[in-house]
Amino acid sequence: MALPAHSPDETPAAGSATPRSDDISADRLTFAWVALFMTAALAVDLLSDMSDITQGKSTVAAGKYLIYETTGYFVILGLFPLIAWFASRATPGQHAWRFVVPVHFAGSIIVSLLHVGVFVFLRKLIFLAVYGYPYIFTNNLAQSLIYEYRKDALTYSLFLFFIIFGRQLAQQRRELAAAREDAQKTHRLTLKCGGRNIFIAAEDVLWVKSASNYVEVIANGEIHLARATLGAIEKQLADAGASPARIHRSFVVNIDHIRKIEPTGEGDVKIEMSDGAIIPGSRRYRDRLPGPA
């Protein structure tokens, strides 16, 4: 079940990439995780079916359960690339909701009809080969299609969420790599603040504080709130040629802006920065500070 290949006008040149090729690369990783999850869910369902048979709660033959479950799971998994295609045409957050909702509603119907059509076809072939008689899907087609759509719509939504989430994670990794590369070339820090990119000379950064899912970067008398991790900022600073030191689980300081280090007892220290701020230093990170306290 291969993901869609590049179309001729989307194929990136050597050494370059396009947003489409980036999405395809991210989707391959997402597909691997989804396939792993689906395989585990299939195993759980089959074990539950076997348990029902052994306990006398079901009279359906084990072989038929195997056919039903495997065709249902693997056919919907095989439709992952189609859901990824719909995700690219109507991406939540990039397109208006009045466009996104009807596109994915239509997409979920198409996926469900394909899912049902293919697994019914496979089951008919397998039943004829194994049992010698045809598989009967339903005596009430409309009711059965609605029943299957309820389940398929949920699966479609979950796949869509994982696809969008996977693409966002991949984008964040690329942005982080680009920021580190830029830091090495320009000796500056790249921060994402409220939808903007802010560039700060690494030597001007005094200290950085973790603030939940964000970091506070103190430089030039200002506090810049950016979506990043403390570790990522520390690496950017090092790449930019600064002298960062993680001195606490919530703080990174620029060693060049340390004015004074004083012990507080039991190995901890308090650090006075060039702007007068007092930063706590944990004994766990004491070896990253210059000189004896």
Q: Over 50: is that where the pLDDT of 287 sits? A: yes
* pLDDT tens, position by position, 187-208: 888 887 767 888 899 999 999 9
pLDDT (mean) for 16-38: 89
Q: Over 60: is that where the pLDDT of 288 sits? A: yes
Examine the domain organization and report whether 162 and 198 are in the same domain. no
High-pLDDT (> 70) share of the chain, %: 92
Examine the domain organization and report whether 172 and 39 are in the same domain. yes
Would you place residue 6 in the very low, low, confident or very high pLDDT band (cuts 50, 70, 90)?
very low
| The total number of structural domains that make up the chain | 2
pLDDT at 292: 53
High-pLDDT (> 90) share of the chain, %: 56
Examine the domain organization and report whether 137 and 270 are in the same domain. no
Distance CA 193, CA 163 (A): 25
Examine the domain organization and report whether 36 and 88 are in the same domain. yes
Examine the domain organization and report whether 89 and 130 are in the same domain. yes
Examine the domain organization and report whether 168 and 41 are in the same domain. yes
Examine the domain organization and report whether 214 and 125 are in the same domain. no
Q: What is the DSSP letter of 18?
A: -
Nearest to 274 by CA among 218, 230, 228: 218
Last residue of a domain, one of 149, 176, 203: 176
* pLDDT tens, position by position, 93-134: 888 999 999 999 999 999 999 999 999 999 999 999 999 999
Distance CA 270, CA 288 (A): 14
Range of the domain at 49: 19-176
Whether 124 is covered by a domain: the verdict is: yes
The reported pTM is: 0.74
* pLDDT tens, position by position, 228-275: 888 889 999 999 989 999 999 999 999 999 999 998 877 889 999 999
**C-alpha triplet 168, 172, 177: angle, nearest 5°:** 150
Q: Over 90: is that where the pLDDT of 15 sits? A: no
pLDDT at 59: 82
Cα separations in angstroms, 11 against 19, 21, 167: 11, 7, 18
pLDDT at 9: 41
pLDDT at 17: 66
Cα separations in angstroms, 199 against 52, 204, 205, 211: 62, 11, 11, 20
Amino acid letter for position 233: I
Examine the domain organization and report whether 205 and 96 are in the same domain. no
pLDDT at 57: 82
Better-predicted residue by pLDDT, 226 or 154? 154
Examine the domain organization and report whether 147 and 30 are in the same domain. yes
